Amino acid sequence: MSRIIASARRLQRRIRAGFSPRLHAAIARAVLADPPEARAGSGAGSARQVVIAPPGGGNIGDAALVGAYLEHVEGDVVVVTRRADDFDLSSYGERVQVLPMPMLLYGGTLQFARGLRRLRAHVARGTTVAVLGADIMDGAYHAAASANRALIAAGAAEAGLDSRIVGFSWNTAPHPKARWAMRRAAEAGVLLTPRDPVSAGRLGGDVAGSRGASDSVGHSSAGGSPDRGGVVLAADLVFTARSLAPLPDDLARALDGAERIALVNVSGLIAAHVPAGANAAVVHDLLETCDRVVIVPHVSRPGADDLPHCRDLADRFAGDERVVLVDRLLAPPQVRELAARAHIVITGRMHLAVMSLMAGVPAVTIASQGKVEGLMALFDLPALCVEPGAALAAELPSRLAKVLADRDEIAARIAERLPAVRSLAERSFTATPVFHQGEHLVST
């Protein structure tokens, strides 16, 4: 059996190594070409929005992105997922249809083509195709899936559809195949809205030479010809979300009467890079100034599970009723409610930081995937971004002490910048793509 598993893994690696973005680009262009006229009512061709969701499945940040998008758009929406239960979208009613297609993004070429044919049944002229990019567009996790997302968007744009890749980060070393696919998307006329100025600068250089990102689409390039794509600086989609939800009864009781609440997240993604005892030292320090310290997971799935690390931290304070463990994932509206009640937040997950900042709460955030520094640049608060590593045991408590000392001033700066950040987040919905075809108006 072990030999069979090893052989299967070798075959999978060879398939991934042989992935051809150019072939997949040609397939997407051919399959999505000449979409039909929209048909009224439910069924094929009726969706106003087709959304390619991030992985989800135990990730509050991904769920918050999907929820924020669905809050903002009207009409019928088809949400493409890996599995039917990756997101709980039941509250949106019949207007939202989940279309699970696990192999569209993660399978081979034949499965990609078959998935696109199935997807095309939900696309018509006037449909918007939106890829929710999160931190999965630069190939850091799965290069083929990143490229496939961009190439689906490119094929939709080449078919004359409103096509956009929204709310995503872009790291300093994108996978070459993911970079090629994003360049193809830009050339096809896909609207690209990276969610922070650092990512926008990186992406602009990668997809358009030295042009970088702009505040609007349709600018001329250095050579004088019109750009075929638009890199538009935006902010994370979750900044547009408004919904809140009551906390679970047991958590509400545990927080009853507390005037100062601190939230602490231990990320399973970077736990190996956080020195032992650093998080416990933070909790000890927080208990000097806060009535409650709530240890809250943000992701719980194989490979990057926060929950075991959060439990380990809570066990260090067993018997202290001031330390409260949230032992399951909350829904994004509940996280926003919890964050709004916090005095200070310490997190290894970016979207917990986003949901804290949108409530005006300082969030000391341990960096990962090159995305946190860009988030804090939106607020001109680099002190809220902490690099993981050996120095973290000393750096995190000292940084926390400084942020607590300047807490009111930092909160005032967040409140001052928040309207502009929310306006940037709206660009993912309001900015206009640049179509590559002659019959479409190039926006200015």
pLDDT category at 162 given cuts 50, 70, 90 is very high
- pLDDT, averaged across the chain: 88
pLDDT category at 416 given cuts 50, 70, 90 is very high
Q: What is the pLDDT of residues 372-404, one digit of tens each?
A: 999 999 999 999 999 887 778 788 889 999 999
Pick the range with the lowest mean pLDDT from 93-102, 204-213, 338-347.
204-213
**58 pLDDT higher than 50:** yes
Q: How far is CA 103 from CA 83, 99, 108, 109, 299, in A?
A: 10, 12, 8, 10, 23
Q: What string of H, E and C letters represents the secondary structure of the chain? A: CHHHHHHHHHHHHHHHHCCCHHHHHHHHHHHHCCCCCCCCCCCCCCCCEEEECCCCCCEHHHHHHHHHHHHHCCCCEEEEECCCCCCCCHHHHHHEEEEECHHHHHCCHHHHHHHHHHHHCCCCCCCEEEEEEECCCCCCCCHHHHHHHHHHHHHHHHCCCEEEEEEECCCCCCCHHHHHHHHHHHHHCCEEEECCHHHHHHHHHHHCCCCCCECCCCCECCCCCECCCEEECCCCHHHHCCCCCCCCHHHHHHHCCCCCEEEECCCCCCHHHCCCCHHHHHHHHHCCCCCEEEECCCECCCCCCCHHHHHHHHHCCCCCCCEEECCCCCCHHHHHHHHHCCCEEEECCHHHHHHHHCCCCCEEEECCCCCHHHHHHHCCCHHHEECCCCCHHHHHHHHHHHHHHCHHHHHHHHHHHHHHHHHHHHHHHHCCCCCCCCCCCCCC
Domain 15-234, architecture per CATH: 3-Layer(aba) Sandwich (3.40)
pLDDT the model gives residue 379: 97
**254 pLDDT higher than 90:** yes
Predicted TM-score (pTM) above 0.95:
no
- Residues 208-213: contacts with CB under 8 Å, at least 24 apart: 208/183
pLDDT the model gives residue 39: 63
Q: What is the pLDDT of residues 98-107, one digit of tens each?
A: 999 989 999 9
Structure tokens that stand for 404 in this block: 């607590």
Report domain extents, the chain.
Answer: 15-234, 249-418
Pick the range with the lowest mean pLDDT from 40-49, 108-117, 181-190.
40-49
Phi/psi-derived region of residue 218, left when phi > 0, alpha when psi is between -120 and 50, beta in every other case: left
**267 pLDDT higher than 70:** yes
pLDDT the model gives residue 304: 85
Q: Could you give the CA distance from residue 101 to residue 124 in angstroms, rounded to a whole number?
A: 19
- State what percent of residues in the chain have pLDDT above 90: 77
Same fold for the domain at 15-234 and the one at 249-418? Answer: yes
Side chain identity at residue 193, one-letter code: T
Q: Could you give the CA distance from residue 328 to residue 336 in angstroms, rounded to a whole number?
A: 16
- Return the residue matching tokens 């330390």: 323
Side chain identity at residue 295, one-letter code: I
Say what angle helices 350-357 and 60-72 make with each other, to 10 degrees.
Answer: 50
pLDDT the model gives residue 45: 56
pLDDT, average across residues 227-251: 89
- Return the residue matching tokens 């490229």: 147
Q: How far is CA 7 from CA 1, 110, 204, 382, 392, in A?
A: 10, 21, 40, 47, 41
Domain 249-418 belongs to what topology?
Answer: Rossmann fold (3.40.50)
Side chain identity at residue 280, one-letter code: A
Structure tokens that stand for 437 in this block: 């075809």
pLDDT the model gives residue 9: 52
